[in-house]
A and B are shown apart, each in its own frame.
Chain A
Amino acid sequence: MNRAEGAAREISRLDMLARRDQRVNRIHPLVKFLLTVGYIAAVVSFPKYDVFGLLGMMVYPIATFLLGELSVRDAFRRLRVVLPLVCVAGLFNPLLDQNRVRLGDVWISAGVLSMLTLMGKGVFSLLASYLLIATTTAEALCGALSMLRLPEAVITQFLLTFRYITVLLEEVGRMTQAYALRAPRQKGVHRKVWGPFAGQLLLRSMDRANEVYESMLLRGFSGKRFYQRQRTPLCGRDLAYGAFWLALFALFRFFPVLLLVGGIFL
């Protein structure tokens, strides 16, 4: 199995994961979506040297992993392609920012602190998004978006994109396989044919995507009916769950909880 095929399978697996009947999966998708947005906003807005404050935000992903009985290892394995990209962002900070800041009794390089903060922000945001996807199906998410009165076209587009990604990846798989069979000693696809390869891929995946869409239409697909079936009313438990976490986010964002707790014990 080559990489693209593997990716297509991964997406199907994620889809299955999102369909499990776990407590977190049952929370209303709209609440989970808004929580994720709120979480990322809180994480991203931390001051650039506040690593310790940021660490407190780990509570949310940790709790969700536990509640959802999700594998942390799988999460990092799935995110291994994007994680380094997120981390690279802060890599030059220690060189660019030569200041020092005092932390208790020790002086620390400000550049290192800001690098860690930036990496933390990236990793946490990524984890939160992953957790949303791993506990909520694309259809349920679309239902939630439609409750926010987002335009129908946008929501249908989102749903189809999710479906097409697998299609695109499968096509990549088929083409690289066909290529590899005729160029057995090469690793990957030679740079010279990237152009035509990408062109072919685009045409073929457009054809395929078009057929997938046709087959959906022929079986009575209308975006609206499809995701509106997923619309369920918000209940008290959902609201309580949302309110609890939002309060916690605010707490960790505006008070140095970890330092205070640490201070009590030290």
Chain B
Amino acid sequence: MREAEIAVEGVSFGYEKGRKILKELSFQASGTENIGLIGENGVGKSTLLKLLVGLYPEFTGTIRIGGMPVEKKNLAKIRSQIGYVFQDSDSQLFCASVDEDVAFAPRNYGLPEAEVERRVERALAMTGTLHLRDRKNYSLSGGEKKLVAIAGILSMSPDILLMDEPSAALDPKNRRRLIGILHELPQLKIIASHDMDLILDTCSRTLLMADGRIVRDGATEEILRDGELLEAHGLELPLRLQGQIEIMSGKMRTDIL
């Protein structure tokens, strides 16, 4: 795999004039780590991810993917290296059958049919959805749709994966499966989510977004244990840690008594 690298420098962007969503935002990422992107609803997590793949070209500042600036002339190349998993799987699964949807990208890249076949099989196997291969997309459950959507991205063999709220709409079993998949995949990943437990389980590093910037960038363990910091930005401790802290405070009380 090529060296995956994302470099964002002083990026500002707004959908409408006079209302900036991102303000001089910067961060860097490389290698094969899982990076959590957290922040209040509407802070601009999805917007940031979409900027990385060049869906909104009217930003200021620079974004480089694998050293290439995100500009019109590089988009085809950049998009073949980055996989974007949409929050809403229905936006992604527009072909009639699972099989076809997973083959959509490799076919568009003009690969020979035998290679397309091989990639589809591998992508489905990686997400544990080989048995869904001949199913029609509309007949899948929410969780199955999400896994198939991920397979549809993996078939591109991207170096970087961007995932927008991947655990939304998943039941506990499929959520565990997703966590397993996130651990296994070797790509550099950015996972935007307000599922703090998912981030805690899968990401070594976390970016906290607020007011159009990255206000904290560090080890997930540290940021997600900082209840005050999270609360100040409209977020909550992961449930698992909430439990620990309650137990701790319970213990303290018994100690006092």
Contact = CB atoms under 8 A, between A and B. Distances in A.
Interface of A: 8-9, 12, 15-16, 19, 163, 166-167, 170, 208, 211-212, 214-222, 225-226, 229
B28 interface: no
B94 A226 contact: no
A212 B91 contact: yes
B247 interface: no
Interface residue range, chain B: 20 to 34
Given A9-B138, A215-B92, A220-B80, 18 more contacts: A12-B96, A15-B96, A16-B96, A16-B136, A166-B94, A170-B90, A208-B91, A212-B91, A215-B86, A215-B94, A217-B55, A218-B55, A218-B84, A219-B104, A219-B156, A220-B79, A220-B109, A225-B108
B233 interface: no
Contacts of A222: 108
B239 interface: no
25 contacts: A12-B136, A15-B96, A16-B97, A16-B136, A167-B94, A208-B90, A212-B91, A212-B92, A214-B55, A215-B92, A215-B94, A216-B94, A218-B53, A218-B82, A218-B83, A219-B79, A219-B104, A219-B108, A219-B156, A220-B76, A220-B80, A220-B105, A220-B108, A221-B108, A229-B107
A226 to B, nearest CB: 6
A216 B107 CA distance: 12
B18 interface: no
B40 to A, nearest CB: 21
B137 interface: yes
* Interface-central residue, B80, B83, B96, B108, by most chain A CB under 10 Å: B96
Interface string B25-40: 0000000000000000
B152 interface: yes
Interface of B: 50, 53, 55, 76, 79-80, 82-84, 86, 88, 90-92, 94, 96-97, 104-105, 107-110, 136-138, 152-153, 156
Nearest to A8: B138
Contacts of A163: 94
